[in-house]
C-alpha cells in the first residue's frame, strides 16, 4: 500500500456542526489533501444546499458522508480516535500538535483506521466527547485571537497528514484494539474499580475525573486486542475475588 493511499484509512468526524456551509468547506479541504471519509454526527439541516455550494467541487465527499446519531456510533470500526481541542487542562496529558500527530499515526495506518474528531464551531468538543479519544490534537494560535474556523482547523490537520504521507514513512504491522472494544473495557474497568472501592460510585465528579485520567493512561499505551483481552481477564478475576470476600 502506498503512503498516499494510507490516507483512505483516516476519517474526519464532525460533531454537532452548526452551519452546513462549514461542512462543505471541510469537504473541500479534505479533497484538496487526498482524504475522502467524512462522518457527520447530528449535522444541521441544509435547506439552501450550502454543503454542496461551499464544497466547491468536492460533492462526492458530501454524498458519501456517513451520518450518525452519536460519537460512539461514529467511531465504531476505528482503532484510534483523536479529538481536537484548544482548551488547556491539567488533566489532559495526551496533547500533541498536528505535525507530531501526523508523524506518529502514519505508521499505524496500514493496519488501522483512525478517526480525527472536530467539535461544534463555538464550544468545541465536550468532555464526554474527548473521553472517547486516545489522543488530543491542539493547533497552536496567538493568544490575541485563538479561535480558528472549523474548516481551517481541519485543513491544518489534513495538510500535516498529507505531508507526512509524502515523506516515505513506513507502515507498522500493528493492529490496535477497536474503539468499541476499548469502550467495553473502560466500562468493565469502572465497574470493577467501584466494586473494590477504588472509585466512589456516588461521587460523580471524582469518579469521572479518575476515569478520564485512566483513559488517557491506557490511550498512551496503544492497546492491542490481546492487551484488552488480558486486562479484562484480570478485571474479571478481581471482581470474583472481591465478591467472595464480601460474602
- Secondary structure letter of residue 96 according to DSSP: E
Report residue 173: phi and psi, to 5°: -85, 75
CATH number attached to the domain at 179-246: 1.10.8.590
pLDDT of residue 242: 85
Cα gap 13→113, rounded to integer Å: 13
pLDDT of residue 4: 60
- Secondary structure letter of residue 82 according to DSSP: E
For the chain, list residues with pLDDT below 70.
1-4, 87-93, 168-172, 204-205, 247
Q: Is 68 left (phi over 0), alpha (psi -120 to 50) or beta?
A: beta
Give residue-wise pLDDT tens across range 58-94: 999 999 999 999 999 999 999 999 999 986 655 566 7
Cα gap 164→4, rounded to integer Å: 9
Quote the cell numbers at residue 45: 439541516
Quote the cell numbers at residue 97: 500538535
The answer for residues whose C-beta is within 8 angstroms of residue 143's C-beta and 6 or more apart is none
The answer for residues whose C-beta is within 8 angstroms of residue 132's C-beta and 6 or more apart is 71, 72, 75, 81, 83, 117, 179, 183
Q: Is 222 left (phi over 0), alpha (psi -120 to 50) or beta?
A: left
pLDDT of residue 43: 97
The answer for residues whose C-beta is within 8 angstroms of residue 121's C-beta and 6 or more apart is 17, 18, 19, 22, 149, 150
The answer for residues whose C-beta is within 8 angstroms of residue 40's C-beta and 6 or more apart is 13, 14, 17, 23, 65, 66, 67, 68
In DSSP terms, 67 is beta-bridged to 40
What fold characterizes domain 5-166? Alpha/beta knot (3.40.1280)
pTM of the shown model: 0.90
Cβ atoms of 135 and 155 closer than 8 Å: no
Q: Domain limits of the chain?
A: 5-166, 179-246
Amino acid at each position: 500500500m502506498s503512503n498516499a493511499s494510507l490516507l483512505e484509512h483516516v476519517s474526519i468526524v464532525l460533531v454537532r456542526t452548526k452551519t452546513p456551509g462549514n461542512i462543505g468547506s471541510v469537504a473541500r479541504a479534505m479533497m484538496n489533501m487526498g482524504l475522502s471519509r467524512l462522518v457527520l454526527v447530528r449535522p444541521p439541516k441544509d435547506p439552501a444546499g450550502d454543503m454542496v455550494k461551499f464544497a466547491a467541487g468536492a460533492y462526492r465527499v458530501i454524498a458519501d458522508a456517513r451520518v450518525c446519531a452519536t460519537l460512539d456510533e461514529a467511531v465504531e470500526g476505528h482503532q484510534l480516535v483523536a479529538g481536537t481541542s484548544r482548551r488547556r487542562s491539567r488533566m489532559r496529558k495526551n496533547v500533541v500538535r498536528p505535525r507530531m500527530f501526523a508523524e506518529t499515526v502514519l505508521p499505524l495506518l496500514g493496519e488501522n483506521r483512525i478517526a480525527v474528531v472536530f467539535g461544534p464551531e463555538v464550544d468545541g468538543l465536550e468532555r464526554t466527547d474527548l473521553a472517547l479519544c486516545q489522543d488530543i490534537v491542539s493547533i497552536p494560535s496567538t493568544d490575541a485571537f485563538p479561535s480558528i474556523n472549523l474548516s481551517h482547523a481541519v485543513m491544518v490537520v489534513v495538510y500535516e497528514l498529507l505531508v507526512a504521507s509524502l515523506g516515505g514513512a513506513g507502515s507498522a504491522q500493528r493492529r490496535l484494539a477497536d474503539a468499541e472494544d476499548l469502550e467495553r473495557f473502560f466500562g468493565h474497568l469502572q465497574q470493577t474499580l467501584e466494586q473494590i472501592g477504588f472509585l466512589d460510585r456516588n461521587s460523580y465528579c471524582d469518579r469521572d475525573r479518575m476515569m478520564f485520567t485512566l483513559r488517557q493512561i491506557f490511550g498512551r499505551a496503544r492497546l492491542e486486542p490481546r492487551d484488552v483481552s488480558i486486562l479484562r481477564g484480570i478485571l474479571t478475576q478481581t471482581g470474583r475475588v472481591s465478591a467472595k470476600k464480601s460474602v
